[in-house]
Structures are given as C-alpha cells and as structure tokens.
Structure 1
Amino acid sequence: MTNKNKTVVRSMDILNLFIDHTELSFQEVIELSGIPKTSAFRMLKSFEEMDFLEKGTDAKYRLGILFLKFGHLVSMRLDVRKIADPIMNELHNDVKEAINLIVRDGDDAVYIEKIDTKQKVRLYTAIGRKSPLYAGACPRAVLSFLPDADIKEYLESVELKSFAMGTITEKERLFETIVQARELGYTISHSELENYTSAVAAPIYDHKGEVVAAMSIAGLETNYRGENVEIFVDKLKKATAEISKQLGYEQL
C-alpha cells in the first residue's frame, strides 16, 4: 500500500467515526481513530476546508454541508430509480427494446438503470457508464430541458468530440437539436454513441419542475424509422410523465 493510499484510508477512518457519533472533539477523534495528533489535525483541517466537516464554536466537529449535498444526490437517484423500475419493466415488456435511465453528473450523464433482457443485441449503454450531455438521445434529453442559462454556459464551454459516425460535433447543430427537442418534448439520436443504433428519449421532472433524469428506448437503427418512432415516443412520454408525477411534478 502506498503512502497516498494509507492517507486515504486514514482519512476515511476519521469520516467513518461520524457514522456512530454526531459530533466529536479533536481529542475524541484521536482516541477513537488511533491516528497521531499531527496527522489527525492536518486531516481535520483539510476536511474543514473542503466542507466535509465543520467545526462549531464549541470546538467539536460535525459532518459538513457537502455531505448534505451528496446525501441529497444519492437520495434523489435512489428515488428516481425505485419509482422508475416497474415502469421501465412494463415499457420494456411492451416494446421489447432496451430501456435506459440516466441522471446528470456535471457535464455528463450517468446511466443508473438499464433493462434489456428482451433486446437481442447488447448496446453501448451500461449501468455506471457515462456519456457527455450532448451525445445520445438520453443525455441530450437532460441537456435540452435545463434552464436557458445552464444551456448557454454549457454550449460555451463544451468541446464536442466524436464517438460514432452520427455524433453531433458542431455547436450550431447541437443548438438546433435542443430547440427541436423543446418543441417536440423528446430527443432522437442515430449512431451517436455507437454505429447503427438509435434511441428516443424524454425528460423526467421533480416536484420543483426541474429536469432530474431522462429515460430512453434504444435499439438497432433499422427499428427507429417512420411509424415506429411515433409509437415509441408515445409510449415513452406516457412512461416519463408517470415517473415525473410520482416524483411530485404537476404539469401545467
């Protein structure tokens, strides 16, 4: 084990103390962790600066605001996944195509659930895999329905890279697809993350009316033409509307 790894492990030993203790003094941290005083002081100071811990006027340490943020994110993702699961299964059994669920992770989308037992061909997507918000129908279903200011900031800073022959690599074209998605209420992609695959996706909203996730139907490109797209989109939007409703979203 390297020195760096030892430091990480020791740091986690300190944070793990707060699982069973709401607050701890500096001396209590030393006694419970067995970490030398100098090292413990340095770690605690770093945790303070990063908002992992906060030190009260009583000189005792407590979990900081960053854990509240992480806790909210984990809770939100678990809630979306739990609510979406039966709806995703029902949709998958109906259309026999892969069903994906993603949430935003900064400038990326992360796939938190996928159901494809009836899909004969395994696709690019997988649970835990990330994709930039501009690439693929599902990630772009989140991007397209963010606040205008967030979209503007993203477009100004993002560098568009190609993943497959259909990946959008021009910002003007990306903006056009965002405008189109807002008009239609869904996104569509062809060979953006993997050649010869397609997807349709729609956003999922929370009780504040903010987009928190997106869900897609995905499969081989040949199945995503003409009337099939209309059928998939209709079923998908009904499914995402139900998930949004269960998350507390009230559509005007």
Structure 2
Amino acid sequence: MKNKTVVRSMDILNLFVDHAALTFQEIIELSKIPKSSVYRMLISLEEMGFIVKGADSKYRLGLLFLTYGNLVSSRLDIRQIAYPIMQELHNELKEAINLIIRQGDEAIYIEKVDVYQKVRLYTAIGRRSPLYAGACSRVILSFLEDDEINSYLENVELKSFAMGTITDKEILLESIKNARTNGYTISHSELEDHTSAIAAPIFNNKGEIIGGISIAGIEANYQKDQVDFFAKKTIDAANIISERLGFVNKNPLFQRE
C-alpha cells in the first residue's frame, strides 16, 4: 500500500519538473492538495533540503537534488545500459555491434556482441584506436567541441592502418562535417581491409559526447541503400542509450521516430 503523504510529497516535487519556481498558492492549485497538507509538506521538504524558499516567497528545488543528480549520473554504467540494446540490434541485423568510449586521444572498445558475425574484425574488447580511424572512433571526434577538434588535428599524426585509413586532414575534416550533418559516421577498410562500420554518438546527461555504438561487418554489406538502413538503426540505438544516461534530446538530428 502506498504511503499517502509520501505520494503527495512526490506530487509536489514533480511540479518543479515543468516549473522553475512556484508560489504557495500555485502549488496548491497545481497539485490539488488541501492547503493545510501542502503547508505541512513544504515545511518538511524545506527542512530536509529538497526545496528552498526564496526572498520572493517562491519555492524552488534545493541543492540536494544537484547532489543526487551527480551521484546518479556518475554511477550509471554505460555497458550495463547499452548491452541489451546491442543484443537486440545484433539479433535483428546479424552484424557485429560495438560499444566504445574515449580515453584521451584514443577510443577503446569496451563491449561487443558478435554471436552471428563469424568474420574476424579489428574491434575486439580492450582494443584501442586513434580517434581519427574507424567509424566508431571518429564519431567521438566528430562531436567534440570545435576547439578540441582543432587542437587534436593540429597535434595528431595520421598513420595508416589499412587501405582505407584517412591520412589527409582535409578529408578528415570533411568526414567530421558530414557526421555532424548526417548524425553518423561510416568507414570502409580504415582499421582492417574489406570491413566496414557505421557508428552513432552517445551523449551523457550534460550533452557531452562520451562514446559511440557501431554496426560492423564485411564491406560488401555496407553499400547503397543498406547504408541508410544501418545508419537509422545505429542512430536509434545510440539515442536510446543516451536518453537512459540522462541526455535530453533537443536536436532534430537525433530524434527517434
């Protein structure tokens, strides 16, 4: 059985999801809770630090929520969140699904699902690649802040890993621009010959790029109309992961249908 006082207190707190500040009367009207009950609950919530009353007599969420928010975001495990989504994508497409995060000027593969993909790929768990090479790595580079991208390009030496590795900075810049326009990156034979990948960005609760998810397999499967199909699937999966990490999606480019 639900505790009525707790439920009503949560109803009051939930009002602040859509309202930055509310007067006592506004809380009564919006919550439809009796005046005496609202008064008692506001006193308790204020004493515990959940809300604060300003000099303008309006109530706002307290700093305690900032503490809780930081704790929740810091304890979210991207692998735990992403894995079932990766499994579902792999079962549908029968292509390898990879999850990466950034570590300095490199990306590291931290999860992979490839039960149905029998072709050996570069993307083993624990393997690293520079941010410019491969779709999954480059999707992180593409959605960094402009000054960070410029700094990276000024200092990086573009080395070849396979016959399709991008070693020209102008071509790399064009690829970054395309990723920002299309919402995904694509690579052909960049880390390993005759393999391809399509990747989409994963954002945290602050809207910062923290990783990427990719679909990967033999190059012959990543041509023409199949690219658009795989790209949509990858973007949708990345969006779900981002949202579960607390990302509030306001960019039409990353809206799920």
| Mapping 1:158-169, distance limit 5 Å | 158-169=156-167
Structure 1 position 120, deviation (Å): 1.7
Q: Distance in 1 between matches of 2:74 and 2:234?
A: 21
- Out of 92, 95, 98, the residue aligned to residue 93 of structure 2 is 95
- Out of 244, 247, 250, the residue aligned to residue 245 of structure 2 is 247
Q: For each residue in 1:193-229, what CA deviation from the matched residue of structure 2 results, as whole angstroms up to 9, or x when unmatched? A: 0000000000000000000110000000000001111
- Out of 208, 211, 222, the residue aligned to residue 210 of structure 1 is 208
Q: Distance in 2 between matches of 1:124 and 1:246?
A: 28
Structure 1 position 78, deviation (Å): 6.7
Contact preservation (8 Å) 2:76, 2:245? no
Percentage identity across paired residues of the two chains: 63
Structure 1 residue 120 corresponds to structure 2 residue 118 = yes
SS of the equivalent of 1:143 reads: helix
Match of 1:154 in 2: 152
Change over 3 Å in CA distance of 1:159–1:204 after alignment to 2: same
Contact preservation (8 Å) 1:141, 1:203? yes
Runs of 5+ unmatched residues, structure 2: 1-69, 251-257
> TM-score, normalising length from structure 2?
0.68
Contact preservation (8 Å) 1:139, 1:214? yes
Match of 1:236 in 2: 234
SS of the equivalent of 2:77 reads: helix
Amino acid at match of 2:154: E
Q: For each residue in 1:10-60, what CA deviation from the matched residue of structure 2 results, as whole angstroms up to 9, or x when unmatched? A: xxxxxxxxxxxxxxxxxxxxxxxxxxxxxxxxxxxxxxxxxxxxxxxxxxx
Match of 2:190 in 1: 192
Q: Distance in 2 between matches of 1:149 and 1:234?
A: 29
Match of 1:176 in 2: 174
Amino acid at match of 2:171: R
Q: Distance in 2 between matches of 1:78 and 1:189?
A: 30
Amino acid at match of 2:192: E
Change over 3 Å in CA distance of 1:230–1:156 after alignment to 2: same
Change over 3 Å in CA distance of 1:161–1:79 after alignment to 2: same
Structure 1 position 122, deviation (Å): 1.5
Match of 1:132 in 2: 130
Structure 1 residue 85 corresponds to structure 2 residue 112 = no
Runs of 5+ unmatched residues, structure 1: 1-71
Structure 1 residue 223 corresponds to structure 2 residue 221 = yes
Q: For each residue in 1:172-209, what CA deviation from the matched residue of structure 2 results, as whole angstroms up to 9, or x when unmatched? A: 11011001100000000000000000000000000000
Q: Distance in 1 between matches of 2:104 and 2:239?
A: 24
What is the number of equivalent residue pairs in this alignment? 179
Supply the RMSD in Å over aligned alpha carbons: 1.4
SS of the equivalent of 1:213 reads: strand
> TM-score, normalising length from structure 1?
0.69
